[in-house]
Structure 1
Amino acid sequence: MKILSLRHYLAFASMYLMTFSIPGFADADGHYRGVLQLSEHSQLVFGVRIAGDEVTFDSPNQGLFNHAPTEFELSNEALSLYDAGMSLRFDAKFEQRQLVGQFRQGSERAEAIPLTLQRLSAEDLASLSYEGQYVGQLQISRQQSLPLRLNLARVTQAIAPSGFIATLDSPAQQSFGIPITRVEINAEQLSFESQLLGARFVGDYQQVNDRDGYTGTFTQGREFELRLQREDGHSAVAQYRSPELGQHGGALAKLTATGEQQWQLETEYFGDHDAQVQYEIGSVTKPMVALILAQLVSAEQVALDTPLAHFFTGADPSITLARLATHTSGLPRLPANLFITANPRNPYAHFDLAALQSILAATPVSSNQQIPDYSYSNYAYGALGEALAIAAQSDLNSLFETWVFNPANMGNSTLALTGLSLPDLSQGHDASGEQVPHWQFDALAGAGAVVSTLPDMVAYVRYLMTLQADNDAAMTQMMTPQLRIADCCEQALGWILQTDDDGATFAMHSGQTGGFNSFVGFYLDGSAALVYLGNQAYDHTQNLRRQLIQLRQTSLSATAE
């Protein structure tokens, strides 16, 4: 679950900008920084820069700097800024050297997050030059490397003792915003630790080919060579342009209601793709696992409060099946032992049941609180899938056939399990357009192993909307909100629930692998649905979510006429 859409700022870089300001106001000039605490394991640095009659904002942990808002208002007492492209607003009052206010992202009804920005001191500004993104290739073996990116943000020492907050991205493993527990940087050395990964890095400053960077050792179980090099204006990231929908191929389906459990279907295929082409759907697999869970609960084979330890000896006793299905188990995004022997171009294929059992027994969590923290986890859904297979005395592929593929009439869908040949699976592309290998799964298949076609996914959505209309017990169980997340949405079993400005609720989920992207969304009243399958790893969720909302509005307007 991507809690904030700031990371997709490149998609909105062409928005027209308009500002309102108070000329000559300079008392508040400076850089202001604060932390959006999204959960125990998730935080983002947000910043504002005021320079005379100019105001810009930053999200340093996500590589966004000096972004001009669509509009702002500045006075001696307050600052208010709004950005249409990112649907965010920050309203604050000046209190000494601080901006104290509220942050919102999403609709006007989105829940406000308290946010205080502290002005950086002269000492803070002196080390601002270290802020930015540092990228490198973790040398796993002579033939294999894993790309990593360290996102470093300057804050005051009142916020972080070292004056910096950092996150780590592992794009090949679809993992972003991994929290860094401690980070130190100066002209001689960079070091950081991540408790979630059980990893640390220590590197010395070294200039290579006129590029600044730190060369040293990344330790996670064993030692790996790693050089983290500062990104600059000539980097691939800086020059990157967001790809268009279907740029290398893909398929889009729109469904609108024409009667009771009847829908009009419009499809579009991009490039030379057709109805036979298969796609990796990535994390859209997760709601299918949640449907299996709900079906097994209805069949009284498991309960939502069944402990994971019932199936995996040594697993933390506080972890239940419900917590796995709602990303509140306390398990990190990825298991720590995944990285040790992973092929970065096919990162899940090697991770078998023995590896899952081993790491579950070694992963303590702190999720005994009444309101558990939300932290999106591929690890959790991998464990959930295998637990359900054990409960049913079966395997996960057979569970999908029984509870999802067969009843939904999905004859061209399967799990991309390790070693399986899939001749109809399209060629995948990374975000820059380069061809990449397909992904395969073993014990983490529940996190994202399904491959499917557009007709199959349309059949799946029709099946879900029919179950919803029939008040099916398992469907009702699955779509019941379990907790509120971020400021926009609620988490059901597997699905994210959001309400549009008309008060209508829709369910959605997106997915991404190394070379594919997907989106499924449908209104619970059956009025509209949208499915997108693409063979490029770029997240179009915000665009497709808006298309879904617009689809319903257009359909209702046409019906009214």
Structure 2
Amino acid sequence: MRGRPTPWPGGDPSDDDGAAPVPETAEETAALRERLAAAVDACDAPDVVFAVSRHGRRTLHSGGTAPPPDVPREDLRYEIGSASKAFAGLLLARLIRRGVLTGGEPAAACLDPGRRVGPAPATLAHLITHTSGLPALPADFFGRALPAWRTNPYARYPAERLTDAFLRHGTRHRPGTRWHYSNYGVSLLGHAVAAATGTAWEDLLTGQVLRPLGLRGTALHAEDPKTDATGHRKDGRTPVPAFDAGGFQAAGAVRSTPHDLLAFLEAHLDPAGSPAAGALRAVRVPVLRRGAGHRHVHTVAWFRHPADGGPLYFHSGATLGQQAFLGFRPDTGTALAAVCTRRFRARDPFVATAYAFLATG
């Protein structure tokens, strides 16, 4: 059997303690800046920012093929797509640590309190760990989205339709028996948690994650074309509208500045003193492996890969015109937030470049 979650984690991971800070020499600083410049150039996008934190010391480098915008690239807000799931995982972990939820609540019962559920329902824990038995997207998503495929397909699929699809059709497979990456599942999680708590997802995210971590440059909607980065099609020249997640907020709606993304990652590296300390530690604990032969281990918020000195945590994401990569390494005290404004294309260099940067220290 593949992808069965273990019980919800708690406490400190035993092998993830960060390395003690080591002063950086002038040569090391210069080498880091050279690596950042090379990574930005390799991504070949209109706007690119690579932001690194080492033991809390930040270094950012930006560039791109487009003329510099009026606002510095590192101050713009970027769409992070599926990397929003790291925020969703932390939010759920906070609610569980605070006793508001357990993670074992059936999603259908949250959405429809009078509903009878079977002996093996899809729970909140199944939804966040991609083991719910749901497909990547609802069956009728593509038919509704196709007319807006190049602009904003998700906007054509509202929350009510997403939850109705689940309540009508259920899951394809028995929950907990296999891992299958699902935007549908994590989006449904957002609606189920909102229903169970009586609080809108955006308000929960603000109150449980953004405000406690001081993320003032992070939101779920585009607000100002002067401060929200503009995405581009695969050609790297044609602009696309700001992303509208429709009913898929929890899975992909977050947009944030590189500095906020670094602050988010720095909190994972050093939870001590944070109001979310328990949850930040919990989301580093492995909860499942995808199956024999896979190196992929998952927490409730991150992909977790082995590295020379300890595990590497990451999540990437993409919208119709932007990409993002978030990752951190406790063994080196390093965090990386990388963003760009060009839609993913065949043999796209962005994620590979960001992953390699973090993996090599």
| Offset at residue 528 of structure 1 (A) | 1.1
Secondary structure at the aligned position of 1:506 is classed as strand
Unmatched segments (≥5 aa) in structure 1: 1-37, 40-242, 258-262, 552-561
Letter in 1 for 2:202: N
> Who is 2:267 aligned against?
463
Relative distance call for 1:412 and 1:306 in structure 2 (3 A) is: same
Query: Structure 2 CA distance, aligned partners of 1:496 and 1:443?
Result: 24
| Offset at residue 384 of structure 1 (A) | 0.7
1:331 touches 1:363 (CA, 8 Å); kept in 2?
Answer: no
Letter in 2 for 1:378: N
Letter in 2 for 1:268: H
2:76 touches 2:229 (CA, 8 Å); kept in 1?
Answer: yes
Query: Structure 1 CA distance, aligned partners of 2:45 and 2:166?
Result: 40
Q: Aligned pair 1:489/2:304, yes or no? A: no
2:269 touches 2:330 (CA, 8 Å); kept in 1?
Answer: yes
Equivalence map 1:368-407=2 (5 Å): 368=174, 372-407=177-212
Equivalenced residues, count: 302
Query: Structure 2 CA distance, aligned partners of 1:398 and 1:490?
Result: 30
What are the Cα deviations for residues 176-232 of structure 1, in whole angstroms up to 9, with x where unaligned?
A: xxxxxxxxxxxxxxxxxxxxxxxxxxxxxxxxxxxxxxxxxxxxxxxxxxxxxxxxx
Query: Structure 2 CA distance, aligned partners of 1:323 and 1:422?
Result: 37
1:430 touches 1:515 (CA, 8 Å); kept in 2?
Answer: yes
Relative distance call for 1:443 and 1:468 in structure 2 (3 A) is: farther
> Who is 1:255 aligned against?
53
> Who is 1:350 aligned against?
156
Query: Structure 2 CA distance, aligned partners of 1:246 and 1:411?
Result: 29
What are the Cα deviations for residues 243-291 of structure 1, in whole angstroms up to 9, with x where unaligned?
A: 941521121111222xxxxx22110011424332111110110010110
Query: Structure 1 CA distance, aligned partners of 2:89 and 2:282?
Result: 10
Query: Structure 1 CA distance, aligned partners of 2:273 and 2:215?
Result: 20
Q: Aligned pair 1:275/2:80, yes or no? A: no
- Specify which of 433, 439, 447 is matched with residue 251 of structure 2: 447
Q: Aligned pair 1:541/2:351, yes or no? A: yes
Between structures 1 and 2, the one with greater strand share:
1
Unmatched segments (≥5 aa) in structure 2: 4-40
Between structures 1 and 2, the one with greater helix share:
2
| Offset at residue 367 of structure 1 (A) | 4.2
Relative distance call for 1:366 and 1:503 in structure 2 (3 A) is: farther
- Tell me which of the two structures has the higher relative contact order, counting C-alpha pairs closer than 8 angstroms and 6 or more residues apart: 2
What are the Cα deviations for residues 423-472 of structure 1, in whole angstroms up to 9, with x where unaligned?
A: 42122112232322221123210110011111111111112222179893
- Specify which of 519, 522, 525 is matched with residue 328 of structure 2: 522
- Specify which of 53, 57, 60 is matched with residue 264 of structure 1: 57
Query: Structure 2 CA distance, aligned partners of 1:379 and 1:531?
Result: 25
| Offset at residue 319 of structure 1 (A) | 0.5
1:519 touches 1:532 (CA, 8 Å); kept in 2?
Answer: yes
Sequence identity percentage:
27
| Offset at residue 526 of structure 1 (A) | 5.7
The structure that has the greater radius of gyration is 1
Secondary structure at the aligned position of 2:154 is classed as coil
| Offset at residue 543 of structure 1 (A) | 2.1
Query: Structure 2 CA distance, aligned partners of 1:503 and 1:264?
Result: 20
What are the Cα deviations for residues 369-390 of structure 1, in whole angstroms up to 9, with x where unaligned?
A: 7x62111010011111111222
